[in-house]
Structure 1
Amino acid sequence: MPPPVVLHLTGSATDPFLADLSLIYARGAWAALGEQYEMRAAHVTPDGLWCFPDDLSDPALKAAEPIEVTDAVHHLTTIRPKTILPQMFCLPGMTTYRSLLDVLRLPYLGNTGPVMALAADKAHTRAIVAAAEVAVPPAELLTPATPPTLEPPVVVKPVDGDNSLGVTLVHDQSEYATALDQAFTCSSRVLVETYIEAGREVRCGVLEQDGELICLPLEEYALNQPIRSHADKLRRNEAGELIFSAKTADRSWIVEEADPVTAPVWEAARRSHRALGCRHYSLFDFRIDPDGRPWFLEAGLYCSFAPQSVIPAMAAAAGTALPELFATMLRQIG
């Protein structure tokens, strides 16, 4: 029997930077899982064209013939993959392209387009998890015509931004104008949140297994400054290649299950997963105040199944290797 076909949906319809990020993760998953599955690729370029390269190497991508979306749709339906791995991180890639897969009735791992759209809007996400009795910092939503009323210190962030772009900690009123200008360059709406004094910052992954929600070991991030910046997450090396800043032992580590913060974060993560309508898996960021109380920051509802991806790293710490994790997730889609 031939191995199951796994199709990686990569690239970006809008942003070369996010296209590079997509390829980093997808190449990692391809290398880690390629021996067990027949790997295929579909790639979307920033001009909206598609191609179906033989692999995800630069030569293969350059050699692949670009085609229009109508032809790509026909080609997708002939591949018949066991699953598609959406590896796109731009907003259309996380939403519209996933919804296209639903229209075509093609199976894919991860959350649906509408759920991804919900999680991409930090204001909507906050409201929903707060209704599920998850603690969120006091906040207000601004447009360019709306002045802020919250007293600093506050965190100013684009409502639909990612990777900490446009995020600023405002210490006093004099810093508001610059922070708002930076955030509004990234989004037409800005969220201003009361700053939670730094105790700790952790991420929690949740897996669906046979109808149960399994929480993974927490990953904690070093707080060398009051808030994590874009440079703390991603940067380019001297060769211009995109690399991860936080994937070193001094910047992030796994939290012991016996740690007092684990149980309350797990409970908040399960509530958030259910409230947002997540499926297969989810990932949430929490700020832990000096009293040990977790505060919801945001949802990151994607997983590339690359070794450097957060959920596989958490699963590995719990004793589940990446191939076993992926096989378990495949069983969730039949």
Structure 2
Amino acid sequence: MNQLNSINLAIIAGSASSEHDVSLRSAQTIIDALQASHISFTPLYLDKNNNLLLIESNNYENLSPSKSVVLKKHAMNEHFLYDSDGTIINKIDLVFPVLHGQYGEDGAIQGYLEILGIPYIGSSITASAIAMDKELTKIYLKSLGIPTVPHYILHRDASIPSYNTLSENLNSVVLFVKPARCGSSIGVSKVSNQEELTIALQEAFRHDGKLLIEPALNVRELEIAVLEDATSIQASSAGEIVCTQGFYDYTQKYDTSSSAKLYIPTQLNSEILQQIQNYAIKTHKALNCRHLSRVDFFLTGDNQIYVNEINTLPGFTSHSMYPLLWQHAGVSITDLVSRWIHSVLA
């Protein structure tokens, strides 16, 4: 780990994304872990106008006034953080964009870092953009024989089918309406009649111009954490989400008083677990993801497996599945970040 003593990792959180607050919580969890480690870091904040600020308090959850900063290339393979007066604050060797959703998982921040030539943890522009789009992800996975849930795509300017038409086409009396390019279940609704569908479409179109409509299946919800470092790609054990009320929406994910329960690891037949782990790694590779991802699955009562989606920057809050699955395997957040840094530098 001696190599890590000489590098400085910039952590970027926030942004104008609808997942701004979750991003801050994820970043704070990572910072709390790194403060007791040998890894030097600089916390940066993208405010809701996407202005880049320096967080001098190391605290994303109680933000104090911060100075405006900019990342610039100084010389070949050297990058520095400057304040508004052009004074160098410190050197930045690589970036961990802890940004969920738009601007973070869609390839936007990755494109910015690529232009600056700054190495970063996480998937590339293309992989991020494809994984962010649930329709494109399904197309890629289907071409490789990886099963996904049937769906219907609806664009903002298209004619809207009736609930009865969608229900018949998707062979389900209960449907899920989802923005195609959002995370954290933002804008997702469960509907069972025309009135509910109309309201759900209005809500989902607030977040995206393309929607995904799927049947509501009677399934177990499972998640696998994928860890890629310089030498291997590994799949964690399976975690399971059980909701006693409603479905696993934004509130259930991030409200600690919610009815959702996480089982880590969950009990699965060894053959089913291995198949799900294989699908997780195959999905990660298919989209050419890097370093980390969380692949979400549905498992039916007759053991039919569906890939629901892949997240290239899964949540890192204190009760998020990705860090908890690796913690169960004996891999701490500090260990994860160390592996990714070595992978980037390699």
Normalised by the shorter chain, which TM-score bucket?
0.7 to 0.9
What is the CA-CA distance between 1:4 and the residue it aligns to? 2.9
CA distance in 1, matches of 2:318, 2:265: 15
1:112 matched to 2:112? The reply is no
What is the CA-CA distance between 1:218 and the residue it aligns to? 1.1
Residue pair 1:29, 1:304 contacting (<8 A) in 2 also: no
Instruction: Write out per-residue CA displacement over residues 97-146 of structure 1, whole angstroms, 9 at most, x where no aligned residue.
Output: 22111121211111123222211111111111111111111111012423
Residue pair 1:203, 1:220 contacting (<8 A) in 2 also: yes
Residue pair 1:110, 1:303 contacting (<8 A) in 2 also: no
Partner of residue 8, structure 2: 5
Q: Percent identity?
A: 22
1:282 matched to 2:293? The reply is yes
> Which 5+ residue runs of structure 2 have no aligned equivalent?
81-89, 168-172
Question: Of residues 248, 251, 273 in structure 2, which corresponds to 1:231?
Answer: 251
CA distance in 2, matches of 1:107, 1:55: 25
What is the CA-CA distance between 1:63 and the residue it aligns to? 3.2
Instruction: Write out per-residue CA displacement over residues 50-74 of structure 1, whole angstroms, 9 at most, x where no aligned residue.
Output: 222224326994332225xxx4436
CA distance in 1, matches of 2:323, 2:304: 26
Cα gap change, 1:33 to 1:109, in 2 (>3 Å): same
What is the CA-CA distance between 1:262 and the residue it aligns to? 1.0
Amino acid of the residue matched to residue 22 of structure 1?
Answer: S
Partner of residue 338, structure 2: 327
What is the CA-CA distance between 1:83 and the residue it aligns to? 2.9
Partner of residue 50, structure 1: 52
Root-mean-square deviation over aligned CA pairs: 2.7
Amino acid of the residue matched to residue 223 of structure 1?
Answer: C
Partner of residue 91, structure 1: 102
What is the CA-CA distance between 1:226 and the residue it aligns to? 6.1
1:146 matched to 2:146? The reply is no
SS in 2 for 1:57: coil
CA distance in 1, matches of 2:315, 2:72: 22
Residue pair 1:207, 1:213 contacting (<8 A) in 2 also: yes
What is the CA-CA distance between 1:259 and the residue it aligns to? 4.4
TM-score normalised according to structure 1 size: 0.85
Partner of residue 169, structure 1: 190
1:201 matched to 2:221? The reply is yes
Partner of residue 100, structure 1: 112
Amino acid of the residue matched to residue 321 of structure 1?
Answer: S
Cα gap change, 1:321 to 1:256, in 2 (>3 Å): farther
Residue pair 1:25, 1:308 contacting (<8 A) in 2 also: no
What is the CA-CA distance between 1:307 and the residue it aligns to? 5.5
CA distance in 2, matches of 1:88, 1:118: 16
SS in 1 for 2:166: coil
Cα gap change, 1:226 to 1:52, in 2 (>3 Å): closer
Partner of residue 39, structure 2: 37
Partner of residue 239, structure 2: 219
Query: Between Structure 1 and Structure 2, how many residues are aligned?
Result: 319
CA distance in 2, matches of 1:211, 1:321: 18
CA distance in 1, matches of 2:62, 2:123: 29
CA distance in 1, matches of 2:68, 2:40: 22
CA distance in 1, matches of 2:212, 2:315: 28
Cα gap change, 1:84 to 1:142, in 2 (>3 Å): same
CA distance in 2, matches of 1:82, 1:310: 29
What is the CA-CA distance between 1:40 and the residue it aligns to? 0.7
Matches within 5 A, 1:302-321: 302-303=313-314, 308-321=319-332
Instruction: Write out per-residue CA displacement over residues 191-250 of structure 1, whole angstroms, 9 at most, x where no aligned residue.
Output: 11122222x101111122445321111111013246322221124xxxxxxx6858x8x4
SS in 1 for 2:79: helix
CA distance in 2, matches of 1:225, 1:304: 22
> Which 5+ residue runs of structure 1 have no aligned equivalent?
236-242
Cα gap change, 1:96 to 1:174, in 2 (>3 Å): closer
Residue pair 1:307, 1:322 contacting (<8 A) in 2 also: no
Residue pair 2:14, 2:24 contacting (<8 A) in 1 also: yes
Residue pair 1:5, 1:37 contacting (<8 A) in 2 also: yes
TM-score normalised according to structure 2 size: 0.82
Partner of residue 208, structure 2: 187
